[in-house]
Amino acid sequence: MATLGDALRLPAGSTVLDLACGKGELLCTWARDHGVTGTGVDLSTAFLADARARAADLGVADRVGFVHGDAGRYVADEPVDLVACVGATWIAGDTPGTVRLMERSVRPGGMLLVGDVFWRVDPPREAVEAIFGDLRGVDCLSLPGAVERFHELGYDVVELVAADERGWDRYVAASWLSMRRWLDANPDDELAPEIRAELTRSQSQHVRWQRPYLGWAMFALMRR
């Protein structure tokens, strides 16, 4: 997100709407580093509490706000300069549906920012099942396929930041240490067996399927 924020060269005062904002890292750090203002929307009250705390820690609570609500139905009262949906392109059914939702809130000439997975190589059926479970409704394309879909939706891809294997490791493996430390501190908790199973499953899935087959990218889009 920091790399993309630098690449987009957003003018100070640019307005941002972040749909399914999670803990607000994009909004908070871009407000600090680039002077943007904006709103994040998410269903999780726990995530929103962390987002507000993050904004306060970074001294940007006067420039960003967070709304508890269904991001899959949210449309800004006034058009904004950039609408983001990073890692939640299912909120309006699928990626095309989410893009159509996002474009309802962006001003003419503004940008959409879409963060989504893609297949790095053609995956075997076992990889698809391991990562997504039910094969029905899997909305994941190759990187060329993703770019071509944006073209079909009427957009140019004007910036692209993609994760490599090292980036995946840093994102996924950080949770392993957190889970292990929680297990060591809470061995008798009723959730301990579930966390233990998830720790084992996550390690195996990452190194066997996610790391070699699944990619991750953030695409900045402008209407053609």
Judge if 50 and 137 occupy the same domain.
yes
Q: What is the mean pLDDT of residues 167-191?
A: 94
The pLDDT assigned to 133 comes to 81
Q: How many domains does the chain have?
A: 2
What confidence tens digit (pLDDT) does each residue in 68-93 have? 999 999 999 999 999 999 999 999 99
Judge if 73 and 179 occupy the same domain.
no
How far is CA 17 from its chain centroid?
13
**pLDDT of 156 strictly over 70:** yes
Q: Give the CA radius of gyration of the chain.
A: 18
Judge if 115 and 157 occupy the same domain.
yes
What range defines the domain where residue 173 resides?
167-208
Rounded CA gap, 178 and 151, in Å? 40
Judge if 117 and 171 occupy the same domain.
no
Residue 133 sits in a domain whose CATH number is 3.40.50.150
Looking at this protein, which amino acid is placed at residue 52? R
Query: Treating both helix axes as pointing N-terminal to C-terminal, what angle do 95-102 and 143-152 enclose, rounded to 10 degrees?
Result: 50
Judge if 28 and 45 occupy the same domain.
yes
What confidence tens digit (pLDDT) does each residue in 24-71 have? 999 999 999 999 999 999 999 999 999 999 999 999 999 999 999 999
What confidence tens digit (pLDDT) does each residue in 90-118 have? 999 999 999 999 999 999 999 999 999 99
What confidence tens digit (pLDDT) does each residue in 183-213 have? 999 999 999 999 999 999 999 999 999 999 9
